[in-house]
Amino acid sequence: MEKTWRWFGKKDKITLDMLRQIGVEGIVTALHDVPNGEIWTEEAINDLKTYIESYGLRWSVVESLPVCEAIKYAGPEREQLIENYKVSLANLGKCGVKTVCYNFMPVIDWIRTDLQHPWADGTSSLYFDRVRFAYFDLRILGREGAEKDYSAEELVKVAELDKTITEAEKDDLIDTIIVKTQGFVNGNIKEGDKNPVNIFKKLLALYKGIDRDMLRENMRYFLSAIMPVCEEYGVNMCVHPDDPPFQVLGLPRIVTNEADIAWFLNAVDNPHNGLTFCAGSLSAGEHNDTRELAKKFAKRTHFVHLRSTAAMPGGNFIESSHLTGRGHLIDLIRIFEKENPGLPMRVDHGRMMLGDEDKGYNPGYSFHGRMLALAQVEGMMAVVQDEINN
């Protein structure tokens, strides 16, 4: 597997020189300065690609070329946005950048309620607390009909939390759920936006009446439209699973389990239509066994995120170390090295440690924690390679 690292461009505090020194081979990045829906030009792509290569690295994966909301909910501007997307894909292919990770999650990209949940050893990691998320949904967002999505026991716990939660904690929930974890990825809501809750409500309203079947059809429509370009230029599209892999905020989620993955691969049965196998996102759902999913879908996987989560009582989950949790990473490495060797993989998230929380990196992304994870994964890969050789 190719060792890659998510890098957020020339302004990233983690430099390419640092990444080269710790053994990274490929870079996972995007044209973060280009507004969603606009065309990525050959000039801009080549400029960044040349810059990466000047450090002895390669631009291995685009993460991501965002799929605009209007494509997902089939807005009136969908056709033009898809045409722009096709031009950007063609330009990437012409420039030799051939793997594109994207997602088809409505409105919200990934959800956590705590970006620095403490561990006993002094490290911290991402955490999802279902009751606190329900509190955000019911008491802060005030989503109509939200009560139906939670159990009677959860509703009681929300009422109890309402008696003790502070205004600062409420603000932190808003900042964590709909600002910090979203703004640097999809740009729907940015740091400094006034009334982010109102902006978020308007985004949710765009999906009123859009159910699971309709979102699936919109995904099929999008993939069918872009596959001819992918075939012509040899570009592999690989969708990221929903994170977390279950329904939230009344929105349909369509990449959550084995049946979902099989559906979109079969709906547009083309080798360029594939999966980003994110072990962390998939393992956050107790219904998923990452090892079985890897065995089933290895041949249609174009990119791997090696991270792991631990499920906890009450529907909570936490980002675990890369050697523990439900990700089963060493087993995944065995499977992918056997079934689809050479895939780009990146270690993801892990724990904040050794002062990472003071470095000002993007939310959820450590340097030292990921560097440790990269070393651990290298060790796993060496063990697997010895097994293969012997």
On whether both 163 and 186 belong to a single domain, the answer is yes
Q: Is 116 inside a domain boundary?
A: no
On whether both 259 and 198 belong to a single domain, the answer is no
State which of 155, 189, 206 marks the end of a domain: 206
On whether both 180 and 296 belong to a single domain, the answer is no
pLDDT for 189 equals 65
pLDDT in tens, the chain (390 residues): 999 999 999 989 899 999 999 999 999 999 999 999 999 999 999 999 999 999 999 999 999 899 999 999 999 999 999 999 999 999 999 999 999 999 999 998 889 999 999 999 999 999 999 999 999 999 999 999 999 999 999 999 999 999 999 999 999 999 999 988 776 555 676 666 678 899 899 999 999 999 999 999 999 999 999 999 999 999 999 999 999 999 999 999 999 999 999 999 999 999 999 999 999 999 999 999 999 999 999 999 999 999 999 988 788 999 998 888 999 999 999 999 999 999 999 988 878 888 887 776 777 788 888 888 888 888 888 888 888 887
**Tokens at 71, concatenated:** 């494509």
Q: Is 248 inside a domain boundary?
A: yes
State which of 155, 190, 206 marks the end of a domain: 206
User: What does the alpha-carbon distance between residue 268 and residue 266 come to, in Å, rounded to a whole number?
Assistant: 5
Q: Is 215 inside a domain boundary?
A: yes
pLDDT for 186 equals 56
Q: Is 240 inside a domain boundary?
A: yes
On whether both 173 and 219 belong to a single domain, the answer is no
Residues annotated as catalytic (active site), given as ranges = 240, 278, 305, 348-349, 365
Q: Is 138 inside a domain boundary?
A: yes
Helix ranges, 54-151 (H): 69-72, 78-94, 130-135
User: What does the alpha-carbon distance between residue 384 and residue 376 come to, in Å, rounded to a whole number?
Assistant: 13
User: What does the alpha-carbon distance between residue 306 and residue 328 come to, in Å, rounded to a whole number?
Assistant: 9
On whether both 274 and 301 belong to a single domain, the answer is yes
Number of domains present in the structure of the chain: 2
On whether both 88 and 151 belong to a single domain, the answer is no
CATH at residue 255: 3.20.20.150
Nearest to 106 by CA among 233, 212, 262: 212
On whether both 96 and 140 belong to a single domain, the answer is no
Q: Rounded to two decimals, what is the model's pTM?
A: 0.94
User: What does the alpha-carbon distance between residue 131 and residue 169 come to, in Å, rounded to a whole number?
Assistant: 14
On whether both 202 and 214 belong to a single domain, the answer is no
Q: Is 312 inside a domain boundary?
A: yes
On whether both 183 and 218 belong to a single domain, the answer is no
User: What does the alpha-carbon distance between residue 386 and residue 335 come to, in Å, rounded to a whole number?
Assistant: 14
Structural domain for 338, as ranges: 2-106+210-389
Contacts of 81 (CB under 8 A, 6+ apart): 37, 68, 70, 71
On whether both 216 and 201 belong to a single domain, the answer is no
User: What does the alpha-carbon distance between residue 336 and residue 37 come to, in Å, rounded to a whole number?
Assistant: 33
Q: Is 117 inside a domain boundary?
A: no
On whether both 190 and 43 belong to a single domain, the answer is no
Half-sphere exposure of 183 (CA within 13 A, CB side): 16
Residue 23 phi/psi, 5-degree rounding, is 95, 10
Q: Is 119 inside a domain boundary?
A: no
State which of 206, 233, 266 marks the end of a domain: 206
**Are 159 and 183 contacting, i.e. CB atoms less than 8 angstroms apart?**
no
On whether both 197 and 224 belong to a single domain, the answer is no
